[in-house]
Amino acid sequence: MSDETNKIYKLDFTGNILQILSFQGNDLEGIAYDSENNSLWVVEEVARNLINVSLSGTVLQRFQQIIPGYDNSGLEGICFDSEHSLFLLKEKNPVQLIKLDDNYSVIQNLELDFAGDLSDICSTTGNSFWLVSDQEKSLYQITPTGNILQQYELNIPKTEGIAYLENHHEFYIVSDSENRLYHYQLINN
């Protein structure tokens, strides 16, 4: 997914483009795969919209302004936890972890204060989340209540995306400024 072209891209593990979906968003920032519906969910940062898109790029559902505001510190990330609850990440001013109910309404809004910004989120089957921070150049593992379990420094400029392959303890992290995909593996975890 690119916030410059506002398109959704399917990549292989080396960053090669395999497919470009027909969907055209506006200030796209976060993406999550919905295994129950075999579709994608994306967030638009400034407008704070939540959009469900088919794997071919057709809009299935659209929810307008999930949280209040209209500036460039809005929705940055989205993921499903192991129980298929949908979580959103607000970038800053303040940083927030937002849980939605089955009707896509906010049921929990947790303010996180350990980083000046957070750029993306993904979940684990162990009831925790991995987050990246552009400003702090860090990778965090947190509980659903916001407690830090682990923290690692990253030497990546402008981190904007993260994916985690839990079975292999591997991360794929995107640098927005470099248009580059980084691959990391946790050792002894």
pLDDT by residue (tens digit) across 60-107? 999 999 998 878 889 999 999 999 999 999 999 999 999 999 999 999
Give the pair of three-digit tokens for residue 32.
């999550």
How many separate domains does the chain show? 1
Report yes or no on 2 lying in a domain: no
Please confirm whether the linkage preceding 144 is cis (ω < 30° from 0): no
Residue with tokens 């395999």: 18
The one-letter amino acid code at 171 reads: F
pLDDT, position 3 = 59
The residue among 134, 132, 123 whose CA lies nearest residue 79 is 123
Report the CATH number that the domain containing residue 96 is assigned in CATH: 2.120.10.30
130-163 residue pLDDT tens: 999 999 999 999 999 999 999 999 999 999 999 9
Is residue 159 one of the residues assigned to a domain?
A: yes
Cis, bond preceding 94 (omega within 30 deg of 0)? yes
Q: Is the pLDDT of residue 114 over 80?
A: yes
Say what the pTM is.
0.93
Question: For residue 2, is pLDDT > 60?
Answer: no
Instruction: Check pLDDT > 60 for residue 57.
Output: yes
Q: Would you say residue 67 lies in a domain?
A: yes
Helix (H, G, I), strand (E, B) or coil at 26: coil
Rounded percentage of the chain residues whose pLDDT exceeds 70: 98
Q: Would 25 be classed as within a structural domain?
A: yes
Half-sphere exposure (CA, 13 Å, Cβ side) for 124?
Answer: 18
Q: Report yes or no on 111 lying in a domain.
A: yes
Question: Residue type for 180, please?
Answer: R
> What is the per-residue pLDDT for 1?
59
In DSSP terms, 96 is beta-bridged to 90, 111
Is residue 28 in some structural domain?
Answer: yes
Is 48 in contact with 93 (CB distance < 8 Å)?
no
In a domain, 3, yes or no: no
Q: Which domain holds residue 80?
A: 9-185
The answer as to whether 4 is a domain residue is no
